Amino acid sequence: MSVRFDQVSVSFGRRAALNRVSASLMAGSVTGIVGPNGAGKTTLLRAALGLQPLSHGHVDVLGKALADWPREALARAMAYLPQGGEARWPMPVEDVVLLGRLPYRGFGPPDLKDRLAAADALARCEAPHFARRRMDELSAGERARVLFARALATGAAVLFADEPAAYLDPSHQLRLMDLLREEARRGTAVAVTLHDLSLAARHCDRVLVLEQGALAADGPPAEAFADATLARVFKIAREPDSLQLGAFRRL
């Protein structure tokens, strides 16, 4: 396993954002993290990245306790595509993608290895022709691909994407999910938070369902989206063949 959560709890004052969550993220697999607003999806990712202190439990990354990782090494091991990562900067796309190489070079100039990694990331996102364009000249879908390439340029063994499909049209949503699957096939452990259950059902190998900070379900989509879980957590029901069609209805 690449990341293991063991009885992880996080509190904000008196409010429990996560309540003793135990789960694992596996190499070569896309794990969807779903739940209503405020269920703890983003907090779980931030806890794994060491950006959010734990009130209980611990996290292991690549077989080593999170607390034992030097910050620079952790930044090379895990890449993060944050929620709402909008970027309209007047700078070339290539320079944006090269930011993913900062854990290797600090604030020194990029070397040949950095530039090759950035070029490879853009190619994998089908965006090499964007390299010389400015970020503020791109569409929302194009910017999303560039920011994804920035994360890929890190070359990390673990990739976290927090609501990457938000604000994208259906075509770009599907392409972004395809890119996540392609990255998993390269052996990366991919975790993605989603609000769209149909995307999770169609594109994720496993799904973690969070409910008020607790783990309500963990398994393949067909199991995680059991009728009882959908009804209790989301107040919806699955239509016949919904795992193929992504059809859900409100109760």
- pLDDT value for 167: 76
Out of 10-24, 29-43, 99-113, 164-178, least confident range: 164-178
What φ, ψ does residue 100 adopt, rounded to 5°?
-65, -10
Percentage of the residues of the chain whose pLDDT score is greater than 90: 73
- pLDDT value for 216: 97
Amino acid at 158: V
- pTM score, whole prediction: 0.92
* 7 three-state secondary structure: strand
- DSSP letters spanning 128-170: GGGTTSBGGGS-HHHHHHHHHHHHHTT--SEEEEESTTTT--H
Distances (CA, A) of 54 to 19, 178, 185, 208, 214: 10, 33, 31, 19, 14
Dihedral angle of Cα 63, 67, 72, 75, to the nearest 10 degrees: 60
- Report how far residue 125's alpha carbon sits from residue 60's, in angstroms, rounded to the nearest whole number: 30
- pLDDT value for 50: 93
Both tokens of residue 180? Answer: 């996540």
Which residues, 6+ apart, have CB-to-CB distance to 168 below 8 Å? Answer: 140, 141, 144, 176
- pLDDT value for 248: 73
Q: Where are the alpha helices (DSSP H) in the chain?
A: 41-48, 71-77, 93-98, 102-105, 112-124, 140-152, 170-185, 197-203, 221-224, 227-229, 242-245
pLDDT at 245 over 50: no
